[in-house]
Amino acid sequence: MKNLLSIILVLFVAMQAQAQINEKLLQMEQKLTDGTLSEAEMYVQYGDLMFEYYGIDIAKTQHYFNEAIAFAKKNKNVESEARILTDMGYIHFMLKNNDSVLFFLDKSLKLLEGKEFYNEECANYEVRGMYFSRLYDHENAINAYLKALEACEKDKEQRVRNKQPIDRCLISKVKVLSNIGDIYSQTFNYEKTIEYYLETIKVMDDNPNVDFGRLQYQLRGALGGHYMYAKQYDKALPLLENAYKLTKAKEDNSALVYALGRLSKYYRDVKNFPKALQYAKEAIEIAEKTKLPRLIDNAERSLIKVYGEMKDYKTALYYAERLLPRIEDSNLGALREMYRNMGMFYAGVGNIDKSAEFFDKYDDVISKMSDANLQNALQEAKVKYEVEQKEQEHQAEISRHKTRQAIFIGGLLMAALLLTLLIYLLRLRNRRNSELAEMNATKDKFFNIISHDLKNPAIAQRNALQLLLSNSENWNTELLTKYYSELLKSADSQVALLYNLLNWAQVQTGRMPYLPAPFDLIDALQTDIVIIQNMAEQKGITFNIDIPQKAIVTGDDNMLTIVIRNLLTNAVKFTNAGGSVSLNISQNCISISDTGIGMTEEQQQNLFHIDKKRSRLGTSGEQGSGLGLIVCKELVEKHGSTLHIESVEGKGSKFWFEISP
């Protein structure tokens, strides 16, 4: 009964709100017809109705757009007509009707040609920049924003000459500059990002009387964050503190949560964990006051990271377990980070089973992200195709007015182009056939190797189990333990082979996405180092670690951890009891060395050839296919680096590669 009353109350409130909206719209529509508005006010009213209706009734939006255009044409007001067209382009941008955006923007821009309506020109190019940015067409987006800046500057000069206020020009300039900085940030060009953010702050500082609103502290916080990416902490802190003070003074709790999160990250990076924890807890308090789930989740992520850095894994797990159910299945980026962190936290508290469970979930999310990236790429290609088709239709209308001679010449050029294309396609087909033949040969050799390496352990396991079963009454505990140990060793080798096979297949089919970003390599390797230490101890091998406290590199954290984990596992496998395995990370160089059995020159030359036999037993009889090293080589090369080898038979091996900071 209580639930029913709650539902009725919610419906009543919703109906009341809708009634208020309808009443507001009726009043706005009435003003258009009562004859009390000036021409300038009429354009404002038409624009307001277009934007009010676009999310409710697109037919009404189209109706008032048509009326506004007719009114502008009647009054021969080109500037207002262009503004209405730009507004319609922006509405279609918000509705994600990408094939219609440029149609309206082009019509608007054509009206503005040769006119000095610079404010409308700036708005047009700004919407273009947003449109191309959403399509990840960064080059066209930046070009559009630069043209918007040029128009904005002309608008300011014009207003100064006419002794008009320039506040609107300056606000537009700051927005466009920050948008350009955002694009460079998306492409990991932090140097250019900082350059444009600095320019925005200079404009704001040079004009203290202009109300830039939230931009004042949002851009300072963003700039401070990028200084942290660049490891320029001395420049980051004043900006972060300034953004925090401005946000607090404005009592903007949403922005305050993000400002506190950046301060917490700063002190986390400089290893001042009490300060980092203080700001993270303050962010939680502010977020909970807002009752906004998005802000609460963001604040809790900061707190989890602080406890993780402090190695207080138990508390970190408490907050992580609380946050995990609130993350939507579609938010793959957040799930990827959470599963990885929880895998590390459970490893830190010694719960290896739970750690393995979350790392398996982490691997599943990586695969889903690869599929999602493919779908996004296909969708973007579809949108671009539709836009190009629209443009081609427009060009077709113009081409109808060309002379017969131009059409004839165009036909000849098209014929020549088709002939060239045909020749190219024939050559391409021949080359592809050759490549496919080579790929099939490699595939056959690959599956011969895999079937052999999978078959032998499986047969050995089956035979051992049959022997155990047929003589179950005759086995004592010592012999059973020995057989179980051998079975486990054989199963472990099969699992390792399957993981290497999966990684190789993902690389070959493009299903392992390459997602480069700055990250702390030392932090990413913590769990793997613990696992390798246990393997080495069980085999009586000394594991030497020479690594810094932090090593920020740019690359794909998933790929690089796979490489280092495989190389370390191989080193332990091919080293005798009493030997040593070493991991060294110095500046940009990562090296793994051992005092194991080493390799001959011939073995080194065949190491990365899938058609050559490479598998060898480890020093304790561990099985292997050699496929893991091929995976390592390809993943290292995806980072623009090379996997180097130094080995002497009977004395050990060293594998090393360099990675960009």
The CATH number linked to 631 is: 3.30.565.10
Residues near 584 by beta carbon (within 8 Å), at least 6 away in sequence: 546, 547, 590, 591, 592, 593
Question: pLDDT at residue 579 above 90?
Answer: yes
| Cα–Cα distance list, 515 to 340, 453, 512, 522, 555 (Å) | 15, 32, 9, 18, 7
pLDDT of residue 498: 63
- Asked whether residue 407 is domain-assigned, the answer is no
Give yes or no for a contact between 597 and 650, defined as CB atoms under 8 angstroms apart: yes
Q: Is residue 524 part of a domain?
A: yes
The count of domains in the chain is: 3
37-41, 148-152, 240-244, 627-631: least confidently modelled range:
627-631
* For residues 444-455, average pLDDT: 55
Specify the pLDDT at position 146: 94
Are 221 and 350 in a shared domain?
no
* Percent of all residues in the chain with a pLDDT value above 70, rounded to a whole number: 74
pLDDT of 581 above 90: yes
- Mean pLDDT value across residues 87-109: 87
Residue 336 has pLDDT above 60, yes or no: yes
Return the top range by mean pLDDT from 121-130, 344-353, 464-473. 121-130
357 shares its domain with 241: no
- Integer Cα distance of 264 and 280 in angstroms: 6
Amino acid 248: pLDDT: 87
Q: Cα(123)–Cα(155) distance, rounded to whole angstroms?
A: 11
Final residue belonging to a domain, choices 305, 326, 347: 326
Report percent pLDDT > 90 for the chain: 15
- 233 lies in the same domain as 353: no
User: Which pLDDT band, with edges at 50, 70 and 90, does 584 fall under?
Assistant: very high
Residues near 270 by beta carbon (within 8 Å), at least 6 away in sequence? 233
pLDDT greater at residue 176 or residue 416? 176
Who has greater pLDDT, 172 or 502?
Answer: 172
Residue 126's nearest CA partner among 95, 167, 89, 75 is 89
- Pairing state between β 652-658 and 517-520: unpaired
Q: Is residue 476 part of a domain?
A: no
Say what the pLDDT of residue 92 is.
86
Residue 387 in this model has a pLDDT that exceeds 60: no
Q: Confirm whether 572 is domain-assigned.
A: yes
Determine which of 94-103, 362-371, 490-499 has the lowest per-residue pLDDT on average: 490-499
For residues 93-115, give the mean pLDDT. Answer: 87
Say yes or no to pLDDT of 21 above 60. no
Shared-domain flag, residues 282 and 228? yes
Whether 277 and 374 map to the same domain: the answer is no
Q: Looking at residue 316, which CATH number applies to its domain?
A: 1.25.40.10
User: Is pLDDT of 9 > 50?
Assistant: no
83-92, 387-396, 477-486: the lowest-pLDDT one:
387-396
- Per-residue confidence (pLDDT) for residue 352, from 0 to 100: 85
Which tops the pLDDT comparison, 618 or 269? 269
Q: What is the mean pLDDT of residues 86-97?
A: 87
- Domain boundary at 326, 355, 378, which? 326
Is 60 exceeded by the pLDDT of residue 396? no
Domain boundary among 285, 301, 326: 326
**Mean pLDDT for the stretch of residues 570-596:** 90
Stretch 20-44: mean pLDDT: 74
Question: What integer pLDDT is reported at residue 591 of this predicted model?
Answer: 94
pLDDT at residue 606 greater than cutoff 50: yes
The per-residue pLDDT for 496 is 58
Query: Are 229 and 357 members of one domain?
Result: no
Same domain, 521 and 638: yes
- Residue 653 domain-assigned (yes or no): yes
User: Tens digits of per-residue pLDDT, 63-90?
Assistant: 888 888 888 898 899 888 999 999 988 8
Q: pLDDT confidence of 125, banded at 50, 70, 90?
A: very high
> Looking at the structure, do residues 533 and 642 belong to the same domain, yes or no?
yes
- Within this chain, do residues 266 and 311 fall inside the same structural domain, yes or no? yes
What is the reported pLDDT for 145?
92
Q: Domain range holding 346?
A: 339-387
Task: Give 279's contacts (C-beta < 8 A, 6+ positions apart).
Answer: 260, 261, 263, 264, 267, 302
Confidence (pLDDT) at 202: 92
Round the average pLDDT of the chain to a whole number and report it.
79
Least confident of 179-183, 475-479, 511-515: 475-479
Shared domain for 550 and 648, answered yes or no, is yes
Q: For 643-660, write each residue's pLDDT tens digit.
A: 899 999 888 999 999 887
pLDDT, position 53: 80
Of the listed ranges 54-68, 234-248, 437-451, the least confidently predicted one is: 437-451
Given this model, what pLDDT does residue 614 score?
52
- What is the separation of C-alpha 270 from the centre of its chain, rounded to a whole number of angstroms? 25
Q: Is the CB of residue 642 less than 8 Å from the CB of residue 633?
A: no
pLDDT of 6 strictly over 70? no
Question: Is the domain of 304 the same as that of 366?
Answer: no
For 509-576, give the DSSP string.
HT-S----EEEEHHHHTHHHHHHHHHHHHHHT-EEEEE--S--EEEE-HHHHHHHHHHHHHHHHHTS-
| 243 vs 493: which has the higher pLDDT | 243
Query: What pLDDT digit, counting tens, does each position of 235-289 carry?
Result: 989 999 998 998 888 888 888 888 899 999 999 989 999 999 999 999 889 888 8
- In terms of pLDDT, which residue wins out, 504 or 198? 198
Q: Is residue 573 part of a domain?
A: yes
What pLDDT is attached to residue 434? 60
pLDDT, average across residues 193-208: 90
pLDDT band at residue 2, thresholds of 50, 70 and 90?
very low
Domain annotation covers residue 651: yes
- Domain contains 147: no
Do residues 554 and 652 both lie within one domain? Answer: yes
pLDDT in tens, 400-420: 545 556 665 666 667 667 777
CB 160: neighbour CB atoms within 10 A? 12
Which of 40, 62, 36 is CA-nearest to residue 49? 62
Over 90: is that where the pLDDT of 590 sits?
yes
276 with 264: CB under 8 angstroms? yes
Q: Which of 70-79, 432-441, 458-467, 596-605 shows the lowest per-residue confidence on average (mean pLDDT)?
A: 432-441
